[in-house]
A and B are shown apart, each in its own frame.
Chain A
């Protein structure tokens, strides 16, 4: 046995050094360069004559998971290496660097951020987790919750979109975080020492330095980005005058015939329907809305801020601009789309871009695009339908940049003029009117439920099987209307049902919610 290495006997705390190491936790996801950032911090500290140690537990987290890297550093005392911890202690971390907004949230949840000592440096951008992405509705976590918690939990918060800043400067987020760390002034090292660390690394030095400096300046100038609780939607003001007289008349009608509160959705709806079909179709929309507004007024809509009309303005427009083959073809062949794709993939002027569309038409869609009678005639003959389906129903890779395929899509999109006569249009109209009838039927007895019923249209979306599943959820929700009609809290229940329906694909949450409603 080795003799005790410390002079003995030691009984008084006076002999103990009061020094504590500076502790830094880095929260990052696999592939975000958390390891590079950690190495930089350690190298920086060592170059400045400090003792530093880092650890991490990469493991399976390397594959898209979340990882914590942990660093401790202390001014070196000659001959006596400090004993540094291999993991952070909640409530005892000086600096937290979070490479994503929800990871900042995770650091707070784990107790790593406390008001007495922690400086939180976080990027406000989002990388969505799988659970946020798979919901059939909107499963995205609210960043504002994280900011609220950070303002409470951290001694100081530096938070802005470092991901965008880094990529604008041709680098990655680790360089931006390093810049924000330098600017935060929490490490006792000057900016030149940080830069020297990057330079000594020797790889991608220029881009890293550029992003580092951009983040440094940004942190000094405006260290906080505002984070919105809800996504921003673009509502254009009604233009004073539109060149085209037909369009001008539509805008004039919105202004003259509808309460101002509905103008935003009405204008968005008119624009969508002109784009989908033609000005006459948009006029039809305004006619339909006018009738709904009349009913709304007659049932005390004034006092309810015309909630029914506003909902109708939004959802009738969506319902009228249904996603059919003609619409898809029309969107795919537009000149503006070609330009947008080039921009999205970041093509340079001297590069050529071709797109391939992955389409899988089925006989059902073809029938829908045929004139109503012909479509129905084929549908009534299952053998014929099946035979045609075998021929039609297969994946097709449409090379839109080639003349053959472009012309094909162009011809399909040209069917727009005949859309009103198609089987699909007929069915969409029937479905829409049934839905509106159900909603308007409730107006006099349960105004709030009527407005909520309009919102249920949100369940209908997607193509083929997904569309069918959405439709079945919609039908199941609509089927309980009679149960809810007489209830004061009917609207509230309807809202819950809709939220449940958007939680999972199979409708398991919806089944549960429906069972609850059945017991009311």
Chain B
């Protein structure tokens, strides 16, 4: 993280016992790790847990003082494998990544880790990217917990509960020799609240002690015959131990009256929304008082049969509230009640939707149906439920649907990836459309307007691999796009290695913006910044050549649209077989501006000669056809209506957000669009020589201009 400082957040990590922490959920998790005496932390960045890693990366002094090792893992698999340190040694470790994207990658290590079991507490903090605003497929992390027998915590979404879950998680892991996943939903990661801090704790057992006193226990290794014993151990010792710990420590919670006709069983993460829905139905208040018995599962897995049975006994029906499909817990609950021959009716996805986010209105609807069926009298004092439908059904509001535009994510102002796709668009105009395999990262925005490029995306670093079937003689070649993040995560071996070995006759375009940009600008292998704690500046070109790629081109300035276009055309048309790899490199503008802007302002303030570039449009020359925008989509390049009655359509206009990246000019030049763009070079603190030359030029130019104006007949404006 070269370009952004988390100094303020780092201060929060230093809070001592009794002090009140104010901040985001994910930062509370970070603080809780330090309070729990963690020895090492790793992970792979991604929404919504990037912040945890960013802050720890900046918290060098805190980490050194406590003796905690922090590592930016190469992938989620690497992160999970790191937890192997807790297998033989009583050291606590935590890793974090996005789920289910990261859990998928981590699966191999996760299976091995959970099979052998752990000695020290091993915690996996997964940022659950589910619901509104999510950028990934809506799968449930729950499946990973079940198939690998890893415990899954899903605490109520408030800071004290989340912090407690971290602390409980380590203990549960140690008590049951099993890794524990802590699921924090995206809204909970970003929730801003407070909790009373404790002192940070130094690890009780250090990695150094472990290294210097190696332990070897064959029974922990996943290889027959030990692996069969591990299966037995998992089911016969670790599972009951976990159940016992959860029961004894009361990790799950009961709210509301002890008795009732009906009850609600919910995952901890659902608690606030369920409470709001109950409040709207007149069955609860804002302080947590409920008229309906509630069983809140802060532990989503394993289920505690005895607790569930005790809760259900004596009730006509219970409602199971869990988001997403399939309804694992509802199914399990039915099995548990059948085994104990309890006749309590289990409701769940019959009244609640199978998929999607459980918002308060969704829950209100489900609860109304559930309570209506089983305890109708409870609804007799129901206040009016908030209902926007009269407003939404009015023609004035319906008219908005056609007016309010979608705002798909796109490239930032000055993004170096924009000119790459503008060049691809130009090649498409020449050679026709191609099959384009996309990958994960900012460059995936190319599939949206205005570029509309990219046919599939199969996963991180898998873009070129996902084009591997198209390795047959044909009139066109496939193009695969992959970012530098994906390249180092998985792409070098799975995509480039695969292409080299199989002589894949396609084009691989590696978009190198010097960072893991989409996740917040973290450093990666090929980052150009000097990072004292990491080895950066490892060349992508050297890497691909090192594994046998032959046709490799490096483009050092992606804004050179003509060069990108020509290189791409060559790659698509050359006689040479095998992968054609283009590495297109320019720094992520968001991060570059974070670095450069303060430097620029300081230099200007210090009186140094500085040149600032920005673009503009001569509106008299612009005809309002917007061809330039269709090859750009830059937020800074917009349109505006003029007061000229002879212009019906709005003209292009560039706002003050322009960073002068040059794309507008390059594109209009390469595509022979229109001459209305200009670049203005603004010289701050011009030197004496600057001023002299400027005066001389002005003398000649001014004379010619005055001469022209004198003869020009024109109406006074």
Contacts and interface: CB of A to CB of B under 8 A. Distances in A.
A111 B289 contact: no
A278 B713 contact: yes
A328 B341 CA distance: 87
Nearest to A132: B405
Nearest to A57: B133
Contacts of B701: 338, 401, 403, 406
Given A17-B285, A130-B449, A351-B684, A152 B673 contact: no
Interface centre among B22, B132, B192 (most CB of A within 10 A): B192
B554 interface: no
* In the complex, the 4 A-B pairs of residues with the closest C-beta atoms, listed nearest first: A111-B388, A91-B386, A395-B669, A57-B133
Given A89-B276, A331-B620, A461-B623, A54 B192 contact: yes
B237 interface: no
Contacts of A434: none
Interface of B: 22, 47-48, 129, 131-135, 157-158, 186-188, 190-193, 247, 250, 252-259, 271-273, 275-276, 279-280, 282, 284-291, 293, 304, 307, 310, 357, 359-361, 381, 386-389, 391-392, 394, 396-397, 399-401, 403-412, 442, 445, 448-450, 518, 562, 614, 616, 618, 620-621, 623-627, 629-630, 633, 635, 637-639, 641, 643-646, 648-650, 656, 664-666, 668-675, 677-686, 690-691, 694, 697, 700-702, 704-706, 708-709, 713-716
A369 interface: no
Contacts of B132: 57, 87
26 contacts: A9-B259, A17-B289, A61-B407, A63-B411, A87-B273, A89-B360, A92-B386, A127-B638, A142-B403, A153-B397, A317-B646, A318-B646, A331-B621, A351-B683, A351-B686, A352-B686, A352-B694, A353-B682, A354-B683, A355-B616, A355-B679, A356-B665, A357-B678, A393-B672, A395-B562, A458-B649
B401 A140 contact: no
A303 interface: no
A112 B360 CA distance: 13
A89 B386 contact: yes
Contacts of B637: 133
Given A1-B307, A89-B386, A462 B400 contact: no
Given A74-B286, A358-B668, A359-B675, A58 B190 contact: yes
Given A16-B284, A130-B408, A464 B672 contact: yes
B679 A403 contact: no
Given A77-B287, A146-B400, A360-B672, A63 B410 contact: yes
Interface in A224-242: 231-235, 239, 242
Given A130-B450, A234-B643, A354-B681, A6 B257 contact: yes
Given A134-B629, A393-B672, A402-B697, 20 more contacts: A4-B255, A6-B255, A53-B192, A60-B409, A82-B287, A83-B276, A91-B386, A111-B391, A127-B638, A133-B633, A133-B639, A134-B630, A140-B650, A331-B618, A331-B621, A333-B705, A355-B680, A458-B649, A462-B674, A505-B627
A502 B288 CA distance: 57
A102 B405 contact: yes
A56 B190 contact: yes
Contacts of A278: 713
A169 B706 CA distance: 37
B400 A149 contact: yes
Given A55-B192, A133-B629, A140 B639 contact: yes
Which of B187, B448, B645 has the most C-beta atoms of chain A within 10 angstroms of its own C-beta?
B645
Interface stretch (A263-271, A423-431, A476-484, A512-520): A263-271
Interface string A84-98: 111101111000000
Contacts of B691: 352
Contacts of B714: 274-275
Nearest to B639: A133
A55 B708 CA distance: 61
A445 B279 CA distance: 70
A73 B484 CA distance: 43
Nearest to A59: B133
Interface in A316-355: 317-318, 321, 323, 328, 331-335, 337-338, 341, 344-347, 350-355
Interface stretch (A18-26, A182-190, A209-217, A485-493): A18-26
B257 A8 contact: yes
A271 B714 CA distance: 7
A334 B626 CA distance: 25
B141 to A, nearest CB: 17
Contacts of A407: 700, 704
Contact of B675 (A74, A265, A358): A358
A34 interface: no
Interface residues of A, number: 159
B623 A13 contact: no
B273 A18 contact: no
B189 to A, nearest CB: 9
A256 to B, nearest CB: 18
Interface in A130-159: 130-138, 140-142, 145-146, 148-149, 152-153
B623 A323 contact: yes
A264 B645 CA distance: 9
B401 A89 contact: no
A346 B684 CA distance: 12
A239 B518 CA distance: 58
A86 B191 contact: yes
A33 to B, nearest CB: 13
B392 A111 contact: yes
A121 B189 CA distance: 28
Contact of A463 (B135, B359, B408, B623): B623
A129 B285 contact: no
B258 A9 contact: yes
Contacts of B359: 87, 89
A397 B135 CA distance: 41
Contacts of B134: 59
A14 to B, nearest CB: 10
B397 A152 contact: yes
Contacts of B618: 331-332, 337
A472 interface: no
B678 A5 contact: no
B491 to A, nearest CB: 21
Contact of B638 (A6, A58, A133): A133
A357 B675 contact: yes
Interface stretch (A64-72, A192-200, A288-296, A435-443): A64-72
A90 B623 contact: no
A120 B709 CA distance: 52
Contacts of A112: 388
A518 B198 CA distance: 78
Given A8-B257, A58-B133, A145 B403 contact: yes
